[in-house]
Amino acid sequence: SQQGEEDPQALSIQEGENATMNCSYKTSINNLQWYRQNSGRGLVHLILIRSNEREKHSGRLRVTLDTSKKSSSLLITASRAADTASYFCATANPQAGTALIFGKGTTLSVSS
């Protein structure tokens, strides 16, 4: 079964609002990553948080990790229409070698 499960499956907001997406996983991890996929394109790496980190920032992105709850959240602040995309969490875990396990993604729509 999928390691990462994103919630919600779909999210619609207005420009300027914040968007929060959540990810849950099942096994121990080395790190957790978030990727973005624009329509018709490949996935693009956004940010990585290690298992011993609790929070990380990159520009308008903020990621938190709670290993006790096996969950992570991605916050996009002051969203823009260009943020419209699908967002996936992916976990790197000791049992999976160099592979990542991706969730099914959250589709974010930002309207202007």
Question: Is residue 42 part of the contact set for another protein (CB under 8 A)?
Answer: yes
Question: Is the CB of 74 or the CB of 92 nearer to another protein?
Answer: 92
Nearest to 76 by CA among 30, 17, 35: 17
**Whole-number Å distance between alpha carbons of 60 and 52:** 22
**Whole-number Å distance between alpha carbons of 60 and 67:** 23
Question: Is residue 30 part of the contact set for another protein (CB under 8 A)?
Answer: yes
Question: Is the CB of 59 or the CB of 112 nearer to another protein?
Answer: 59
**x/- binding map, residues 81-110, to another protein, per CB under 8 A?**
-------x-x-x----xxxxxxxxx-----
Quick one: which of 48, 53, 64, 75 contacts another protein (CB under 8 A)?
48
Exposure string over 34-68, b if 16+ CB within 10 A, otherwise e: bbbeeeeeebeebbbbeeeeeebeeeebbbbbeee
Quick one: which of 20, 22, 24, 31 contacts another protein (CB under 8 A)?
31
What minimum distance in Å lies between the beta carbon of 48 and another protein?
6
Output the CA torsion sign for 96, 100, 104, 106: positive
Residues of the shown chain interacting with another protein in the complex, contacts defined by CB under 8 A = 2, 30-31, 33, 41-45, 48, 50, 88, 90, 92, 97-105
